Amino acid sequence: MIEQLLIYIFIFVLAIFVGFEVIRKVPPLLHTPLMSGTNAISGITLIGALISVGTGYSHISSLLGLAAVIFATINVVGGFMITDRMLKMFKKKKD
């Protein structure tokens, strides 16, 4: 049980490190279009988190799934808000 938890923590920390390195190397000009493209990935994360909450495997997995649902929802909503603001910049202004 402890060994499995340590493996999960190691994978989680490794994912944080890799994600940070990937995002850090993206130029600011490409960040907004990239964020609008990653909304689909966050949607998939949201579905996986909902499945994790609903399995009832353990109390910890339900709590982690709930945290994942909250964070993925914030990411999806924020991504759509930024994309909407970016698209408004390209609309022609009415005289």
Residue-by-residue pLDDT tens, the chain, 95 positions: 888 889 888 988 998 888 888 777 777 666 666 766 677 777 888 888 888 788 778 888 788 888 888 988 888 888 788 778 877 877 777 75
DSSP letters spanning 46-81: HHHHHHHHHH-S-HHHHHHHHHHHHHHHHHHHHHHH
Listed residue (31, 45, 44) closest to 79, CA to CA: 31
**DSSP string of 5-61, one letter each residue:** HHHHHHHHHHHHHHHHHHHHTS-HHHHHHHHHHTHHHHHHHHHHHHHHHHH-S-HHH
Domain ranges of the chain: 2-89
